[in-house]
Copies of this chain bind each other. A is one copy, B any other.
């Protein structure tokens, strides 16, 4: 008997309650990054993304997640942040800033909105001023920053680890 045997199409791990994590994205320059984040959310059980700007989800990349993740398109991020705060979400931005907390040590609130800046510009000062926390991921080499979908993947992984059942 083999110790490890491949399991194809393993059924997903059931969540005890729906994920309270939502993602709010500044206008992504790349539909590929947006679509990768949609697939990530589908697999992680996250059901809602707010995306600012004119992005289009590529179904070849997002796969079935395109049917399970609601992508709410808005014009700009700042009013979204104010609205999320009123709805009781803790606003955690993903960025390299002063006063940030390393993702390794960060303790998520269950009801969190993860706020993700665009590829080059990141988050504006006005947007940063709305945040409760900034999460930073250590970079150890070149290039000086992770791709935006890669950084989002790490932040979402850490949330799922902290709330493995939803």
Contact = CB atoms under 8 A, between A and B. Distances in A.
A63 B140 contact: no
A140 B166 CA distance: 9
Interface size class of A (residues with CB under 8 A): 35 or more
A62 to B, nearest CB: 9
Count chain B CB atoms within 10 A of each CB in A9, A122, A137, A142 and give the residue with the most: A142
A68 B14 CA distance: 41
18 contacts: A2-B129, A3-B128, A3-B129, A4-B97, A5-B98, A5-B125, A40-B150, A42-B141, A42-B142, A42-B143, A43-B142, A43-B143, A44-B139, A46-B141, A63-B142, A65-B141, A104-B161, A140-B160
Given A43-B141, A44-B140, A104-B164, 16 more contacts: A4-B98, A4-B128, A4-B129, A6-B128, A7-B98, A10-B96, A10-B144, A14-B140, A43-B142, A43-B143, A43-B146, A64-B142, A64-B143, A65-B143, A104-B161, A140-B166
